[in-house]
Chain A
Amino acid sequence: MNYGFLSSFFQKDLFLVLGFVFECLKERGMAGSNEVNLNECKTVVPLNTWVLISSFKLAYNLLRRPDGTFNRHLAEFLDRKVPANLNPVDGVFSFDVLIDRATGLLCRIYRPATAEEPEPNIVELEKPVVGDVVPVIIFFHGGSFAHSSANSAIYDTLCRRLVGICKAVVVSVNYRRAPENRYPCAYDDGWTAFKWVNSRSWLQSQKDSKVHIYLAGDSSGGNIAHHVAARAVESGIDVLGNILLNPMFGGQERTESEMRLDGKYFVTLQDRDWYWRAFLPEGENRDHPACNPFGPNGRSLEGIKFPKSLVVVTGLDLIQDWQLAYVEGLRKAGKEVKLLYMEQATIGFYLLPNNNHFHTVMDEISEFVGSDC
């Protein structure tokens, strides 16, 4: 793996590392060495964010079994879900569509309420979008391929925000999850949803009678977005842009960031390994191209009309080296990519609008999508 590109970040990292060491020493002197990990991440996120992500972490620890199975019943019991709502809330209404009966594939569609139809009824759900250019964002929720759903409250909230900031229709895909459904189920579902969106006449922009599609996702959703984009361009269908928030990538070797940040900010290498083992085909390792698209088994995107990408990487995410390698892989293949490196942000910063990183990223996303309109 080429570490060269990391040199510009190394300075930053050095200060980070020194900062951590300093904090560690300070903590150690006072509260005992067990407190180090916990107090570090408490210094960088607001309290309610810390509580939210910590309780996810706690719940997730209960759900993963050492033998690779997953406590799905408890997962569904604990997950906070919200129904779709035809009544607009903050100008956005939503409804669910079963787009593939065979697999039970469902998508939640979010549309802006209009002044003319403040209370949409069932007939208006698939009314043609109005506008010269109307972006349609296909969103893949995160959860490391195993957790969450399109109707999870955290993702319902995020998708509603995206409608507002991008003046877009958002289609959130309820893809099948690991370990019950391994690779390539999630990608297949993503592709099914993509084709469905692309073939909806009511989603076509008036300018060119085409659906203006963006792919977006966080964590495993970001990974899915990449692979669906690759498949789309292979099939000759345009994707206008990819938005990846803390995308989940990995590889066989252990990177510096993985070792440095293991267990420090809600995420451990052990859990990352578990999720890859649960998603990838049995017997495959993390250099499988699903996990490591620009790794030894990966494929160059040179000469392929891959969309421009907005990739958000947080400085306190232990897999950042892989995400940065992904960005570098895009660059080397001559693809347009904008990297947003949020130094002091942890995973999940985009779930609550209580920090600057959140607002910065939302503005960037808005601009990224808006630049085509």
Chain B
Amino acid sequence: MKRDHQEISGSGSKPAESSSIKGKLWEEDPDAGGMDDELLAVLGYKVRSSDMADVAQKLEMLEKVMGTAQEDGISQLGDTVHFNPSDLSGWVQNLLIEFNGPTTTPDPNFNDDSEYDLRAIPGVAAYPPVKSDPGLENTRKRAKTESSSSSSSTTTRPVVLIDSQEAGVRLVHTLMACAEAVQQDNLKLADALVKHIGLLASSQTGAMRKVATYFAEALARRIYRIFPPDSLDPSYNDKLQIPFYETCPYLKFAHFTANQAILEAFSMASRVHVIDFGLKQGMQWPALMQALALRPGGPPEFRLTGIGPPQPDNTDALQQVGWKLAQLAERIGIEFEFRGFVANSLADLEPEMLDIRPPEIEVVAVNAVFELHPLLARPGGIEKVVSSIKAMKPKIVTVVEQEANHNGPVFLDRFTEALHYYSTLFDSLEGSGVAPASQDLAMSELYLGRQICNVVACEGMDRVERHEPLTQWRTRMETAGFSTVHLGSNAYKQASMLLALFASGDGYRVEENNGCLMLGWHTRPLIATSAWRLAGTESGSELTQELS
């Protein structure tokens, strides 16, 4: 049966003879058009049906080219940096370029120009550069980043059960029943159940006991309307973050992956400016500064703007951190400038206050590690901040957030989600090598316990722990006019290796998700790092150079 080549859009011509053999099996669905192949989508691959034949062709080309190479050479392709494996077409295309280099001749019938931007091929410029760029602009990864990740309307509730025990189940059951009573405003029943939980929890051990205790306390506060006294003092929280940083890898992962993206965005710049939406103890920056100091060609001038909440004792905590970092900068030979800004909320910031210099002069990175979700507590908060970010004209925006759905409209749902989430988190602390009685562990648990209290006991503007999953943040950022900057296999690998070094618990896993990286405990993702650029601009961060 003769095929009609026009059905396969963008595939170019193939020898007509072979088409008749394929005929029947490769019936194109005329309605497919620009839709993703449904069957592959279920398996995690986004390929437009109309692109299928083209992807097949590229796979064939790759096979041919690899077939003539030495075995060694093939596995060396494993050292190439890979991006966003869900985008099969882009992945294969990039491998072709990697393997073939500039000798890949584009099919003349292929009409999608963005894929074959020959300026992107390192070493050989088929077209003369249109404008002088500060660095090598690698546009090839850009091609498929426009395919927006579909924000699924159905939510996922991932659960990992640890050592399911009968007693533990009864405890969970009672917690749930209590939360349900609260949901139904049956406070008398809720009160009775909360007391029962206390009894049950005392007979438990380990993570389950601690989690249950925190949730019970939070429920009690909600029932009796005794709200946490120091929830209004964010500086206490900042201090609790240090032991949390020490005892488990979540913050280290957050800082590391964000820094990777920032480093790549800064790669050729001579003046860089990081705006840290939550400076706290500044733990993220020494590593970045050291990496910048070691940059081939020398370090850039490094400017750091740190934002933080007012201190109860009126000390200038920001300046203290800035001072410490300045001392480090001097030791390692980087020109360093620091500015601190006190703000009750990020929404109070105006970009003009930050003295941001134009993009030709300095390259800007905005960094927000667990800083965006509190903005959801105030109407208009997040929108204001996102638009401020845009006004800062950053080359890259790094966002790390909890991978959880703690901001749904129904209390009982939030409670249930939080119970799963924090059970998993506490379990990971248990599973790590930290000695159970250590001060740091206790403080880390308190740090998490305060979050639990906020999610369960607070409402309205007080409820700031409004965690939302990556799919929702993606939608928000994309709607606001940002596109994903893909974190690649090099960042993945280094994050995994970091875990092996710092996290003695074997259960930590890094996962790639449409260009973002997530850290989880076993199969449950717990935090997600994503990187963004203003849509239509080039971040240049998807370079293949490995940055050690």
Do A47 and B161 touch across chains, with their CB atoms under 8 A apart? no
Closest B residue to A23 using CB positions:
B21
* Interface flag for B496 (CB, 8 Å): yes
Structural contact, A89 and B164, CB atoms closer than 8 A: no
A98 and B39 within 8 A (CB): no
Separation of A354 and B37 alpha carbons in the complex (Å) = 12
- Residues A78 and B59 in contact in the complex (CB < 8 Å), given A43-B21, A98-B162: no
**0/1 per residue, A23-55, Cβ < 8 Å to B?**
100110011001100110011111110111011
CB-CB < 8 A to B92: which residues of A? 55, 58
Determine if B416 and A80 form an interchain contact, defined as CB atoms under 8 angstroms apart: no
Q: Is the beta-carbon distance between B522 and A96 smaller than 8 angstroms?
A: yes
**Which among B53, B62, B172, B420 is the interface contact of A47 at CB below 8 angstroms?**
B53
Instruction: Tell me whether B527 is interfacial, beta carbon within 8 Å.
Output: no
A43–B82 contact, CB under 8 A? no
Beta-carbon contact of B169 and A126 below 8 Å? yes
> Given contacts A55-B88, A121-B176, A351-B43, are A97 and B161 in contact (CB under 8 A)?
yes
Beta-carbon contact of A51 and B59 below 8 Å: yes
Cross-interface CB contact of A106 among B15, B40, B523, cutoff 8 Å: B523
Q: Provided the pairs A39-B21, A87-B154 are in contact, do residues A80 and B86 lie with their beta carbons within 8 angstroms?
A: yes
Given known contacts A52-B45, A87-B154, A43 and B25 CB-to-CB distance under 8 angstroms: yes
Find out whether the CB atom of B78 lies under 8 angstroms from the CB atom of A63: yes
Interface: B160 (CB within 8 A): yes
**Which one of A42, A86, A122, A351 has the highest number of Cβ atoms from chain B below 10 Å of its Cβ?**
A122
**CB-defined contacts of B53 to chain A, threshold 8 Å:** 47
In the complex, identify which listed stretch (A68-76, A163-171, A208-216, A330-338) lies at the interface while the others stay far away. Answer: A68-76
A77 near B493: Cβ-Cβ < 8 Å: yes
Q: Are B78 and A74 in contact (CB under 8 A)?
A: yes
**How distant is the Cα of A104 from the Cα of B160 in the complex, in angstroms?**
12
Within 8 A of B (CB), among A109-132: 121-123, 125-126
User: Is B173's beta carbon under 8 Å from chain A?
Assistant: yes
A97 touches B164 (CB 8 A): yes
Q: How far is the CA of A63 from the CA of B17 in the complex (A)?
A: 35
Considering only residues 319-356 of chain A, those with a C-beta below 8 Å from chain B are 351-354
Q: Is the CB of B163 within 8 A of A101?
A: yes
Chain A nearest CB, measured from B520 CB (Å) = 8
Instruction: List the B side residues contacting A54 at CB < 8 Å.
Output: 56, 59, 63
Q: Check B95 for interface membership: any CB of A closer than 8 A.
A: yes
Contact of B431 among A44, A47, A101, A151 (CB under 8 A): A101
B510 touches A82 (CB 8 A): no
CB distance from B492 to the nearest CB of A (A): 5
Q: How far is the CA of A39 from the CA of B56 in the complex (A)?
A: 11
Q: Is the CB of A89 within 8 A of B60?
A: no
**Any A CB within 8 A of the CB of B71:** yes
Interchain CB contact (< 8 A) of B492 among A38, A48, A73: A73
Contacts of A43 in B (CB 8 A): 21-22, 25
Please, how many angstroms separate the alpha-carbon atoms of A67 and B173 in the complex? 52
Q: Does B542 contact A (CB under 8 A)?
A: no
Within 8 A of A (CB), among B493-548: 493, 496-497, 506-507, 509-512, 522-525
Q: With both chains docked as a complex, state the minimum distance between the C-beta of A300 and any C-beta of chain B, in angstroms.
A: 39
Given A76-B496, A95-B161, A101-B431, residue A51 in contact with residue B39 (CB < 8 A): no
Q: Interface extent on A, as a size class?
A: 35 or more
Decide: B15 and A42 in contact? CB cutoff 8 A: no
Q: When the two chains form their complex, are residues B75 and A64 in contact, meaning their CB atoms are under 8 A apart? A: yes
Q: Which of B471-495 contact A (CB under 8 A)?
A: 489, 492-493
Question: Are A83 and B523 in touch, CB under 8 angstroms?
Answer: yes
Complex formed: what's the CA distance from A93 to B284 in Å? 39
B66 x A61 contact (CB < 8 A):
yes
CB <8 Å contact, B159 and A89 = no
Whether, in the assembled complex, A6 has its beta carbon less than 8 Å from a beta carbon of chain B, the answer is: no
Are A83 and B158 in contact, CB atoms less than 8 angstroms apart?
yes
A270 to chain B, nearest CB (A): 9
Q: Which residues of A contact B63 (CB under 8 A)?
A: 38, 54, 58
**B17: which A residues are within 8 A, CB to CB?**
26, 30-31
Contact of A354 with B39 in the complex, beta carbons under 8 Å: yes
In the complex where A77-B85, A81-B511 touch, is A51 in contact with B176 (Cβ < 8 A)? Answer: no
In the complex the two chains form, what is the Cα distance from A121 to B78 in whole Å?
42
Interface residues in B44-63 by Cβ distance below 8 A to A read 44-45, 47, 52-53, 55-56, 59-60, 62-63
Chain A residues whose CB sits within 8 angstroms of the CB of B169 once the complex forms: 123, 126
User: Is B113 an interface residue when CB atoms closer than 8 A count as contact?
Assistant: no
The reply to whether A153 and B52 form a contact with Cβ atoms under 8 Å apart is: no
Select which of B25, B47, B67, B492 is within 8 A of A46 by beta carbon: B25
- Docked pose: A97 CA to B164 CA in angstroms: 8
Q: Is the CB of B510 within 8 A of A76?
A: yes
Contacting residue for B43 out of A38, A63, A154, CB 8 A: A154
Q: Which of A42, A80, A83 contacts B156 (CB 8 A)?
A: A83
Asked if B331 CB lies within 8 Å of chain A CBs, one says no
The 0/1 profile, CB within 8 Å of A marked 1, for residues 159-201 of chain B is 1111110000100110010000000000000000000000000
Are B489 and A61 in contact, with the CB atoms below 8 A? Answer: no
If A83-B523, A95-B159 touch, does A42 touch B492 (CB 8 Å cutoff)?
A: no
Residues A63 and B75 in contact, CB atoms below 8 Å apart: yes
A98 neighbours in B (Cβ, 8 Å): 160-163, 507, 522
- CB B49 to nearest CB in A, in angstroms, measures 8
- Is residue B77 within 8 Å, beta carbon to beta carbon, of the partner chain? yes
Write out the residue numbers on chain B whose beta carbons fall within 8 Å of the beta carbon of A63.
Answer: 75, 78
Is B56 a contact of A50 with CB atoms below 8 Å?
A: yes
Decide: A80 and B52 in contact? CB cutoff 8 A.
no
How many angstroms from the CA of A274 to the CA of B245 in the assembled complex? 42
Most buried by B among A43, A46, A87, A98: A98
Indicate if the CB atoms of B512 and A61 lie closer than 8 Å.
Answer: no
CB of B523 within 8 A of CB of A89, answer: no
B159 touches A66 (CB 8 A): no
B residues less than 8 Å from A354 (CB atoms): 39
Give the distance in Å from the alpha carbon of A64 to the alpha carbon of B75 in the complex.
7
Q: Which residues of A contact B439 (CB under 8 A)?
A: none
A177 at the interface (CB under 8 A from B): no
Q: From the candidates B45, B71, B154, B416, name the one contacting A89 in the complex (CB within 8 A).
A: B154
Contact of B420 with A97 in the complex, beta carbons under 8 Å:
no
For residue A297, CB closer than 8 A to chain B, the reply is no
Question: Looking across the interface, which residue of chain B has its beta carbon closest to that of A155?
Answer: B43
A157 interfacial by beta-carbon distance below 8 Å: yes
> How close is B32's CB to chain A, nearest CB, in angstroms?
10
Most chain B Cβ neighbours within 10 Å, of A45, A52, A63: A52
Q: Is the CB of A42 within 8 A of B496?
A: no
Interface residues of B in 24-49 (CB under 8 A from A): 25-26, 37, 39-40, 42-45, 47
Contact between A62 and B159 (Cβ–Cβ < 8 Å)? Answer: no
A316–B27 Cα gap in the complex (Å)? 22
Residue B330 lies at the interface, judged by CB distance under 8 Å to chain A: no
Query: If A122-B176, A122-B420, A126-B164 touch, does A71 touch B158 (CB 8 Å cutoff)?
Result: no
A-B contact pairs, 26 of them (CB 8 A): A23-B21, A30-B15, A30-B17, A30-B18, A38-B60, A42-B56, A43-B22, A46-B26, A48-B47, A54-B59, A58-B95, A61-B74, A64-B75, A80-B43, A83-B156, A84-B524, A86-B159, A95-B159, A95-B160, A96-B523, A96-B524, A98-B160, A104-B522, A121-B176, A122-B419, A125-B164
Q: Point out residues on B near A: beta carbons under 8 Å.
A: 15, 17-18, 21-22, 25-26, 37, 39-40, 42-45, 47, 52-53, 55-56, 59-60, 62-64, 66-67, 71-72, 74-75, 77-78, 82, 85-86, 88, 91-92, 95, 154-164, 169, 172-173, 176, 416, 419-420, 431, 489, 492-493, 496-497, 506-507, 509-512, 522-525
Kindly list 7 other residue pairs between chains A and B, CB separation below 8 angstroms, not including A52-B40, A82-B44, A108-B523: A23-B21, A47-B25, A48-B39, A55-B91, A96-B522, A123-B172, A352-B40
Q: Nearest 8 CB-CB pairs, A to B?
A: A80-B44, A83-B158, A86-B157, A73-B493, A153-B44, A95-B159, A96-B160, A62-B78
* A interface residues (Cβ-Cβ under 8 A, vs B): 23, 26-27, 30-31, 34-35, 38-39, 42-48, 50-52, 54-55, 58, 61-66, 71, 73-74, 76-78, 80-87, 89, 95-98, 101, 104, 106, 108, 121-123, 125-126, 150-151, 153-154, 157, 351-354
